[in-house]
Every structure is written in structure tokens, then in C-alpha cells.
């Protein structure tokens, strides 16, 4: 029997006419997951401390900290309160990472971390750019790098834009021109945003810089640092982060939470300023909502309790850092800040352990989903997307290997990208 319907054709045509612009707008504003690799951390180094060979030096310092304070996986497991078998499993991977690629994302800091004065900032920014360019030419630079300039508030606006141009120009020239940076993801971090207009102005600045230094359009990614109450809630009572993200459009790479500036701006006492404070969780949950469905990421903040000093002090700092990294990962924040070389140890141990622990169940469920097998768990497309995404992130950072994922899922990277919604 032929199925029949009674809705008039003109009603269906009216539905299409009314909703086609909505469909197009949604696809433009929410294009889905970004393709390509995303870093699991960002290292901030003051402009006056950015020297050639920096990544390798950080890796060596991290290895030295391990040798001095946790020379074997059993000791590290006890220090950070993690399963010893799991730490033993990731141990060789972590050591290899510290040798091969200790820093994934480097941000030269000409803002709060920079202690030089106006009289030395030009020289320090130029020297930092020359050092980074030297590492690019030698093949030793991190795959992601850029600058955190000063914010666009009136007193420091001109200084911040000057440092940004000086750094970028010296980096492009030192790398041998734009082609010398083809393999490097360039990112500019805009701190202390308080208004959408600042994002719009920065878009204009970045477009002009790309034109001035012969960089392809869109080459400079923009990160917005969430450090002020005005970035989260406007004076009219409206949430402001989503408009900021969409003002940056395809150039937006992420929202970065600024632990201490944001906490201080809310009047939280210094002893209680932390990335796991309830106020931080509120801001970061809002960040997640703002970037969901876009190609930007929500990025956790830092801890300023550094693994230095006596053995007990180092162990306490590692324990805190590992806990905060695990907590962030469990809440869907796959990137955070690191401020000291020894923090690389717990960054990679905690992150690799998270992905290694997630892999068996994720692979089994994904294989059952693709094969439409009766596994006892009825997963939906959204869950399959999340399962594929966690495997991709584990692959990109080195916690997982292509061969083991392929064997466990019968899927190659292209299939995983498709399931995760990572379309070009």
C-alpha cells in the first residue's frame, strides 16, 4: 500500500523557507569540532626568559626532577596517589615524550609573567622572537607557539600592540619568511577581555598583521583569556563569552581560564584561589557552553604551587598538580597551563594515565557501535562522537598508538575523525 500524507505542499515549502536560513546560520556559527591536533597544555615563559633551546631545556629539567624526586614509577604512583600498574604503563611513554617533545604549546609572555619595564620590552620581545625563530629553523620549536601580549585596556593598549607586531615581525623574518613557519600553529593570546569590541578590534589587527607580513589569511589564531567578571557576565546581565567567541569566528582557537586574576577580581582570598574553586567551575562551565559546537576549546588555568624546594615540597606540588589535571580531564578540559618544567612530569603522567585508562572501554564500545553489535550498552551518535574524540586526543598527545587503536576498533584515523565530527 502506498503511504499517503495530507500536509499541503505549500506548508512543507513554507517550513523549508523559514528554516533554511536557521540551518545556514547554525552551520556557520557552530561548524563542529576542529580538525587537526589540539595541544594538551600551554607553557607560559616570560619574554625575558625565552631563549634558544628552551623546549629541550625544559625537558632536561623535568627529567632531572624525576631523577631527584621520583626515579621510578612506583615512587611516582605513591607520590601522586595513582595506581602503580597504570603509572608503570605510562612511564616509558612519559620519558619518551620529555625527550622528544617536552612542550606542545609555547606562549611567550609579554603580559603578567613579564617583569621587564617599558625601557626593555622592545629588546626583550625581539630577542624572544629571535630565539623562537632559531628553534623553528633547527626543528626544535614546539608545534604550537605564539605570544601573550598586553590587554587592550587604555593604559597598556599601544604597548601591547607594539610588542605583538615586533614579536611577529621578528619571528617571521627569523624563520626565513612565512614559509618557514608553515608547520607551526601560530596563536595570539588576548588577556583580560572585558568587551566584545576588544575582540572585534583584535580581529582587525590580526588581519592587518597577516597582510603586512605576507601571512595567509586566518594564519594567526586567537585565544581569549577569561580573567575578568565582565568576560563572563555583562552589565546588562547577559552572558558575554559566546558573543566574544563568535566575534572571533573561525580564528578563535580557545578560551583560556585565568585562575588568579579571575579569583582576585571576585574577592576570593589568596589562600583559596585555585582552579577547583566553585567560582572557577562556574566560569569554566560557561566557557564550555560558549565554545560547544565551535572549533575552539575551553582551556583550564594554572596552579602557582610549583614543584621546587625540598623533596616534600616537590612531592606536594606534584600531588596537587596531578589531581588538578585529572580533575580537569574528567570534566572535559583537555588542555591547561604549565608554568614550570617540573610540572611537565605530572602533566604527562596524569594525562597519559587518563587516556590509557579510557582506551579499552572506549574502543570496545566504539567497535560495537560501528559494527551494530549487541554489547549490552546502547550508544547513540553523540556518545560515539565522544568515544572517538577521546581516542583522537590520546593519539595526538602520544598516550595511545595508531596500531593499538586500529587493532582495538578496526578503524583508521579518518574513520575516527568522521565519527568525532571533525570535518575539514
Q: Roughly what angle, to the nearest 10 degrees, separates helices 157-174 and 118-138?
A: 30
Q: What is the pLDDT of residues 186-240, one digit of tens each?
A: 999 999 999 999 999 999 999 999 999 999 999 999 999 999 999 999 999 999 9
Alpha-helical segments (H) within 30-70 = 54-69
pLDDT band per the 50, 70, 90 thresholds, residue 319: very high
- The reported pLDDT for the residue numbered 424 is 55
Yes or no: say if 308 and 342 are a contact pair by the CB < 8 Å rule.
yes
- Cβ neighbours, 10 Å, residue 224: 29
Residue 222, strand partner residues: 188, 252
What 8-state DSSP symbol labels residue 224? E
pLDDT band per the 50, 70, 90 thresholds, residue 34: confident
Summary mean pLDDT of the chain: 94
Q: What is the pLDDT of residues 149-169, one digit of tens each?
A: 999 999 999 999 999 999 999
Yes or no: say if 349 and 322 are a contact pair by the CB < 8 Å rule.
yes
In angstroms, the CA 13 to CA 15 distance is 5
Top pLDDT among 129 and 377 is at 129
In angstroms, the CA 355 to CA 346 distance is 14
Which residues are within 8 A (CB) of 213 and not within 5 positions of it... i.e. 6 or more apart?
168, 169, 172, 178
Determine what percent of the chain is predicted with pLDDT higher than 90.
Answer: 88
In angstroms, the CA 374 to CA 258 distance is 45
Q: Which residues in the chain are classed under CATH 3.20.20.60?
A: 41-354
In what order do the strands lie in the sheet containing 105-109?
297-299, 252-257, 220-226, 185-190, 144-148, 105-109, 41-46, 336-338
In angstroms, the CA 231 to CA 240 distance is 6
pLDDT band per the 50, 70, 90 thresholds, residue 383: confident
- The reported pLDDT for the residue numbered 313 is 98
Res. 402: pLDDT tops 70: yes
Q: What is the pLDDT of residues 89-101, one digit of tens each?
A: 999 999 999 999 9
**41-354 has which CATH code?**
3.20.20.60
Q: What angle do CA 46, 50, 54 make, to 5 degrees?
A: 125
- The reported pLDDT for the residue numbered 373 is 59
- The reported pLDDT for the residue numbered 423 is 65
pTM for this prediction: 0.93
Amino acid at each position: 500500500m502506498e503511504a499517503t500524507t495530507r500536509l499541503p505542499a505549500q506548508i512543507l515549502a513554507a517550513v523549508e523557507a523559514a528554516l533554511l536560513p536557521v540551518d545556514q546560520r547554525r552551520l556557520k556559527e557552530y561548524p563542529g569540532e576542529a580538525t587537526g591536533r589540539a595541544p594538551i597544555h600551554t607553557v607560559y615563559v616570560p619574554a625575558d626568559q625565552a631563549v634558544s633551546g628552551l623546549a629541550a631545556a625544559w625537558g632536561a629539567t623535568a627529567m632531572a626532577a624525576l631523577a631527584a624526586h621520583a626515579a621510578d614509577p612506583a615512587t611516582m604512583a605513591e607520590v601522586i596517589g595513582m595506581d602503580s600498574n597504570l603509572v608503570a604503563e605510562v612511564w616509558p611513554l612519559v620519558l619518551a615524550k620529555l625527550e622528544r617533545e617536552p612542550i606542545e604549546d609555547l606562549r611567550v609572555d609579554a603580559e603578567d609573567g613579564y617583569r621587564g619595564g617599558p625601557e626593555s620590552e622592545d629588546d626583550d620581545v625581539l630577542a624572544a622572537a629571535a630565539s623562537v625563530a632559531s628553534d623553528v629553523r633547527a626543528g626544535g620549536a614546539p608545534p604550537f607557539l605564539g605570544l601573550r601580549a598586553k590587554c587592550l585596556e587604555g593604559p597598556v593598549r599601544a604597548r601591547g600592540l607594539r610588542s605583538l607586531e615586533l614579536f611577529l615581525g621578528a619571528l617571521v623574518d627569523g624563520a626565513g619568511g612565512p614559509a618557514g613557519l608553515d608547520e607551526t600553529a601560530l596563536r595570539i593570546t588576548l588577556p583580560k577581555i572585558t568587551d566584545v569590541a576588544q575582540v572585534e578590534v583584535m580581529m582587525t589587527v590580526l588581519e592587518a598583521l597577516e597582510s603586512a607580513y605576507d601571512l595567509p589569511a586566518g594564519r594567526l589564531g586567537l585565544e581569549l583569556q577569561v580573567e575578568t567578571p565582565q568576560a563572563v557576565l555583562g552589565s546588562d546581565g547577559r552572558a558575554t563569552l559566546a558573543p566574544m567567541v563568535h566575534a572571533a569566528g573561525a580564528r578563535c582557537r580557545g578560551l583560556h581560564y585565568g585562575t588568579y586574576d579571575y579569583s582576585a577580581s571576585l574577592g576570593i582570598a589568596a589562600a583559596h584561589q585555585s582552579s577547583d574553586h566553585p567560582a572557577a567551575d562556574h566560569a569554566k562551565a560557561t566557557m564550555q557552553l560558549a565554545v560547544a559546537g565551535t572549533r575552539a576549546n575551553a582551556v583550564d588555568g594554572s596552579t602557582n604551587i610549583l614543584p621546587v624546594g625540598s623533596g616534600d615540597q616537590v612531592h606536594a606540588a606534584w600531588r596537587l598538580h596531578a589531581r588538578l589535571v585529572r580533575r580537569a580531564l574528567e570534566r572535559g578540559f583537555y588542555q591547561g597551563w604549565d608554568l614550570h618544567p617540573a610540572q611537565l612530569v605530572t602533566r604527562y603522567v596524569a594525562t597519559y594515565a587518563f587516556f590509557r585508562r579510557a582506551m579499552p572501554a572506549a574502543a570496545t564500545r566504539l567497535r560495537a557501535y560501528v559494527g551494530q553489535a549487541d554489547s549490552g550498552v546502547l550508544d547513540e551518535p553523540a556518545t560515539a562522537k565522544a568515544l572517538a574524540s577521546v581516542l583522537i586526543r590520546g593519539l595526538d598527545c602520544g598516550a595511545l598508538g595508531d596500531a593499538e587503536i586500529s587493532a582495538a576498533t578496526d578503524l583508521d584515523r579518518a574513520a575516527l575523525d568522521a565519527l568525532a565530527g571533525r570535518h575539514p
